[in-house]
């Protein structure tokens, strides 16, 4: 059989194989050249990044030395005093900036420098604080109770609504820090209903709250502001995706919407950051005191017209916490991500031979700064205590300690257990384990609560209260108080005691709700 000539494929035309080999060779060369170009480009990029990092480092060193120049040659005490003067002056400057920012946001002329110096000077007496408040809350408008609010507000709650409206009208952010029980939720709902009726603002609004309170927020909106459609962002990923789709459609259609979710969902659903929210309300806003927390970082990124923190925890005299709150309320002015202490010692980093943290504030210096921070924060904060606003509405609190004898069963068991405990403590052994002693004391403690705590099973019936002196007295109190319509809270440090009390209440046919760490938010 005949063979094809060497270098020539079967059926190939003369020169075709050579052309194919040349094309293949060209592709290999091109690929090799491209790879070399990419490698060279990567090296150039790496070198450029190195140079930029080095330039940045040198610039930081230069700035650090520049900031440190005024402190060179000073003692630590002199450094601290000079830095304190700078900080107080800086805070006065921030106060001026806050006033100017408010004026610009409202399209008004800022006060002249002489007025700003008078109000924001270093000596802040009561009159100057009041003047500072007026400069921030420039817009004052009469506030009417919205017709769609299905609730009657107490006088101090009306004052709270007026303050919330002023925060909105002056393009501010705020902290409603009323003591627990004064109705921060109803005031917030009244505010959002007001915005809808009198400002034409239908949302979308976002409420971020602890998981255990989500359904309460939903119920309160349905009860007091039924015209608002409330969406709960909970459930599995598929359900949340469906809610996200519905929410986007409602926002597009400009429908009244309030979205309620918990802190964890904020981290899991990045799409929440896509919207321009009208009002973001953070329940238990004291969680925002930690400037380095994930929640603080996430919420600061979210766009909205008005930010409102709700907290029943009094603001402490902690500079870092107050600084973090100012950063959240006015991020464009308090731009640093450092906490206050870091910011205070920053200039000392460039002083040769000095650990910047050696320059600590004296208590009296801290008091000055904290006072100034409170003043800066005052236009954005409303805080009332029950003693202030409910003095004429609440009866005096009565506390009574009822001493209850042990039941016969408890006395017998306690005596036996006590003898064994004493014997253990008087043991001839060189060392009695602390764990054993603590365990014995815990057993005694449980016994005076209820002997059924030592039984894996027990019969539901009269012995539920007869065998425990405490439970017997509680049973008698409930039988008298419940028919009169009293609302009663019963607390225990042991969930096992709640089990026994629940069995007793069911046996007595008393309606009750149990709330502990295992209670689902639904």
The string of pLDDT tens digits covering residues 491-502 is: 998 999 999 999
Residue 10 counted as domain residue: no
- The domain that contains 373 carries what CATH number? 3.40.50.10810
Residue at a domain's end among 13, 34, 69: 69
Same domain, 31 and 59: yes
Q: Which range marks the domain in which residue 55 is found?
A: 21-69
The H or E element that residue 310 is part of is: strand 303-310
Q: Tell whether the model's pLDDT for residue 6 goes beyond 50.
A: no
Q: Tell whether the model's pLDDT for residue 7 goes beyond 50.
A: no
The H or E element that residue 423 is part of is: helix 408-425
pLDDT (tens digit per residue) in 238-259: 777 777 777 777 777 777 789 9
Lowest mean pLDDT among 267-281, 390-404, 447-461, 489-503: 390-404
Same domain, 441 and 377: no
Percent of the chain with pLDDT over 90: 29
Same domain, 283 and 329: yes
Q: How far apart are CA 202 and CA 254, in angstroms?
A: 7
Same domain, 427 and 348: no
Residue at a domain's end among 335, 351, 385: 385
Give the pLDDT band of residue 9 (cuts 50, 70, 90).
Answer: very low
For the record, the structure tokens of 444 come out as 């005694």
Same domain, 28 and 122: no
Q: How far apart are CA 29 and CA 35, in angstroms?
A: 10
- The predicted structure's pLDDT at residue 61: 61
Same domain, 64 and 91: no
Residue 187 counted as domain residue: yes
Same domain, 350 and 381: yes
What total number of domains does the chain contain? 3
Q: Tell whether the model's pLDDT for residue 291 goes beyond 60.
A: yes
For the record, the structure tokens of 181 come out as 């029980």
Same domain, 160 and 137: yes
Residue at a domain's end among 337, 353, 385: 385
Q: Tell whether the model's pLDDT for residue 63 goes beyond 70.
A: no
Q: pTM of the full predicted structure?
A: 0.67
Q: What is the dihedral of CA 502, 507, 513, 514, to 10 degrees?
A: 10
Residue 235 counted as domain residue: no
Residue 4 counted as domain residue: no
Sheet holding 276-282, edge to edge: 229-233, 257-262, 205-209, 276-282, 303-310, 174-176, 381-382
Residue 392 counted as domain residue: no
Same domain, 379 and 493: no
Residue 15 counted as domain residue: no
Same domain, 120 and 181: yes
Residue 57 counted as domain residue: yes
Same domain, 380 and 413: no
Q: Tell whether the model's pLDDT for residue 192 goes beyond 90.
A: yes
Same domain, 188 and 62: no
In sequence order, the 6+-apart residues with CB closer than 8 A to the CB of 257 are 202, 203, 204, 205, 228, 229, 231, 247, 250, 251
Residue 503 counted as domain residue: yes
């Amino acid at each position: 059989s005949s063979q094809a000539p060497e270098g020539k494929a079967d059926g190939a035309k003369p020169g075709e194989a050579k052309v194919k080999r040349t094309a293949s060779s060209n592709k290999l060369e091109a690929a090799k050249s491209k790879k070399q170009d990419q490698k060279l480009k990567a090296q150039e990029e790496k070198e450029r990044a190195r140079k930029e990092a080095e330039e940045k480092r040198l610039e930081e060193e230069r700035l650090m030395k520049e900031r440190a120049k005024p402190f060179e040659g000073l003692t630590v005490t002199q450094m601290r005093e000079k830095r304190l003067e700078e900080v107080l002056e800086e805070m006065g400057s921030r106060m001026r900036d806050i006033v100017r920012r408010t004026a610009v946001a409202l399209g008004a002329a800022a006060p002249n420098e002489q007025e700003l110096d008078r109000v924001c000077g270093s000596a802040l007496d009561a009159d100057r604080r009041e003047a500072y408040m007026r400069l921030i809350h420039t817009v004052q408008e009469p506030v009417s109770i919205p017709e769609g609010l299905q609730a009657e507000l107490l006088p101090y709650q009306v004052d709270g609504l007026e303050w919330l409206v002023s925060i909105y009208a002056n393009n501010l952010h705020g902290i409603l820090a009323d003591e627990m029980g004064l109705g921060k939720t109803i005031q917030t709902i009244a505010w959002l209903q007001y915005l809808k009726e009198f400002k034409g603002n239908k949302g979308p609004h976002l409420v971020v709250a602890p998981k255990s309170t989500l359904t309460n927020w939903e119920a309160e909106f349905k009860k007091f502001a039924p015209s608002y459609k409330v969406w709960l962002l909970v459930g599995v990923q598929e359900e949340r995706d469906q809610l996200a789709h519905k929410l986007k459609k409602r926002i597009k259609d400009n429908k009244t919407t309030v979205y309620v979710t918990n802190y964890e969902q904020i981290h899991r659903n990045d799409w929440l950051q896509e919207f321009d929210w009208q009002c973001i309300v953070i329940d238990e806003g004291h969680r925002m005191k930690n400037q380095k927390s994930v929640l603080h970082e996430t919420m600061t990124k979210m766009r909205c017209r008005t930010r409102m923190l709700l907290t029943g925890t009094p603001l402490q005299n902690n500079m870092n916490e107050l600084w973090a709150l100012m950063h959240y309320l006015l991020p464009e002015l308090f731009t640093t991500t450092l906490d206050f202490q870091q910011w205070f010692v920053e200039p000392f980093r460039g002083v040769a031979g000095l650990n910047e943290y050696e320059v600590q504030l004296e208590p009296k210096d801290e008091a000055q700064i904290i006072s100034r921070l409170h003043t800066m924060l005052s236009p954005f904060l409303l805080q009332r205590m029950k003693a202030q606003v409910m003095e004429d509405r609440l009866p005096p609190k009565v506390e009574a300690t009822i001493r209850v004898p042990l039941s016969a069963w408890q006395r017998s068991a306690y005596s036996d257990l006590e003898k064994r405990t004493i014997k253990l403590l008087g043991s001839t052994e060189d060392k009695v384990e602390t764990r054993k002693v603590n365990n014995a004391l815990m057993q005694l403690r449980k016994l005076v609560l209820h002997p059924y705590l030592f039984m894996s099973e027990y019969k539901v019936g009269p012995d539920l209260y007869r065998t425990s002196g405490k439970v017997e007295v509680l049973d008698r109190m409930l039988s008298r108080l419940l028919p009169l319509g009293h609302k009663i809270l019963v607390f225990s440090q042991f969930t096992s005691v709640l089990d026994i009390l629940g069995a007793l209440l069911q046996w007595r046919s008393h309606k009750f709700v149990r709330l502990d760490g295992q209670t689902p938010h639904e």
